[in-house]
Amino acid sequence: MDFLNKGSETNKTELAYWAQKYAKQNGADNTSIVISKNRSINVDYRDDKIDQLKESTQNSLWIEIYAGGRYSSHSTNDLRKESLEKFITNAIAMTKFLGEDPFQSLPDPALYQGRPTADLQLYDANYSKMTAEERVSRAKELHDLIKGRDPRLISITSGFSDSHYENTHLKSNGFEGNYENSSFSWGASVSLRGEDDKKPEGWKYYGARHLADLPPSKQIADEAFRRGLDSMGQKKIKSGKMPMLLENTAVGGLFWRVLHPFSAAAIQQKQSFLEGKQGQRIGSENLTLIDDPTIIRGMGSRYYDGDGISAKKLVIVENGILKNYYVDVYYGRKLGMNPTTGGSSNITFKTGTRSGAEMEADLDRGILVTSFIGGNANSTTGDYSLGISGWLIENGKRVQPVNEMNISGNFIELFENLSETGNDPYTYSSLRAPTLLFDGISFAGA
């Protein structure tokens, strides 16, 4: 018998309680169990025909075993009762061979309190109404909107994808949570015939929880095509130190690299340049980062985290001062720190008064960075070296597309050089960043 044949929330909850009871009857002191179901569909349309149409559905059970001061975690996709009995029995037996870990136990139930009561609207009720024909039509629509625009076009790939995720989480000390979410992605990429056999490319994809929140198809097609044209004639320019205007869609290429050092795990493992800096200045007054899991329809919104900690706003950096780390239960115990939350949700920035376009028009000479290409960042020292592409700006105008250039330095210095934030947060990502302006950035080029 497969417990999830009917696919209902009731069945997932029943399965979680059954697995919890079975584990405790067979030697587990406590358990944490997650039952999930994920359906995803992807359509790619390439050069006048369907290139890929793929659908997958996956059911899984993930169980954490606490037994005799020991801990282990296990997962399976086989949810037949006879298979689960063997799976759980073996998991408990293996756990008993591990060493004791005094920091591994279920969270304090007080952390489960205060869960958001508002409807975060994470699931689009119209999701089930979508047909295969509509998905293909959306992918083809973007393709056809770009087709024929320029004789230099070599290839067009457009895509539409969506997913429906259901989750039931049960801990044996009183936590129970259920939620579902949907997500949609729509976009296109192009390649063109450039000079010297080069094939510059451009792309644009958008994501949203609700289908209606995606931009119009023409906007997506226009942006993907424009970014392809922007790549034509890119080259290095002379090295120098100048302002960097970081496009809101490109901020993730920088900030996702620096997020890990804000975690208790990185601090405990001596892999964070931010260790010991809580309460200290790590950036300019323009740097404020707030983790907000309660944004309606936010791509990173949630009611609770993996530890069961109820979702709440968390100020990470305020006016340049490091206020909080991401502290999960396990590493919080190791460090003697109170848990905040184990990982990021929606990261928001303090916004300014001007748009990215206004900031660009006011730039005497600098580089607009539209994407990062490779590079590395050292979480222990904060040093970084990243490849960039974008535009040289002079007197507020884009005068030369650039690529194969690098920026390098230290993240603390970079944060201190943040001179302005835009009023244009990018809401199609869990990193809801505006355009950012940094002074005195070292660019290495020709």
List of residues 6+ apart from 276 with CB closer than 8 A: none
Q: Does the structure show a pLDDT above 60 at 320?
A: yes
Tell whether 212 and 263 lie within a shared domain: no
Angle at 219 between CA 217 and CA 221, to 5 degrees: 70
CA 338 remoteness from chain centre: 25
Last residue of a domain, one of 205, 230, 255: 230
Instruction: State residue 58 phi and psi, 5-degree precision.
Output: -130, 125
Position 416 in a domain: yes
Q: Tens digits of per-residue pLDDT, 346-386?
A: 999 999 999 999 999 999 999 999 999 989 999 999 999 99
Tokens (6 digits) for 188: 């296109």
pLDDT tier for residue 446 given thresholds of 50, 70 and 90: confident
Tell whether 244 and 190 lie within a shared domain: no
* DSSP class of 99: P
Burial of 102 (0-12, 13-18, 19+ CB in 10 A): exposed
Tell whether 216 and 254 lie within a shared domain: no
**CATH code (residue 144):** 3.30.2290.10
Distances in Å between the Cα of 430 and the Cα atoms of 154, 297, 344 are: 33, 10, 9
Tell whether 281 and 387 lie within a shared domain: yes
Tokens (6 digits) for 25: 């009857």
Tell whether 374 and 249 lie within a shared domain: yes
Angle at 233 between CA 227 and CA 237, to 5 degrees: 105
pLDDT tier for residue 3 given thresholds of 50, 70 and 90: very low
Q: Dihedral (C-alpha) 140, 142, 144, 150: value to the nearest 10 degrees?
A: -150
pLDDT tier for residue 66 given thresholds of 50, 70 and 90: very high
Instruction: Quickly list DSSP for 322-336.
Output: E---B--HHHHHHHT
Q: Does the structure show a pLDDT above 90 at 28?
A: yes
Tell whether 195 and 258 lie within a shared domain: no
pLDDT, averaged across the chain: 96
Tell whether 260 and 159 lie within a shared domain: no
Tell whether 100 and 168 lie within a shared domain: yes
Q: What is the distance between the alpha carbons of residues 110 and 174, in angstroms, rounded to a whole number? A: 10
Helix axes 217-230, 132-146, angle to 10 degrees: 40
Give the pLDDT confidence score for residue 197 in this predicted structure: 81
Instruction: State residue 77 phi and psi, 5-degree precision.
Output: -105, 0
Buried b (16+ CB within 10 A) or exposed e, 169-197: bbbbeebebbbebbbbbbbbbbbbebeee
Last residue of a domain, one of 230, 259, 281: 230
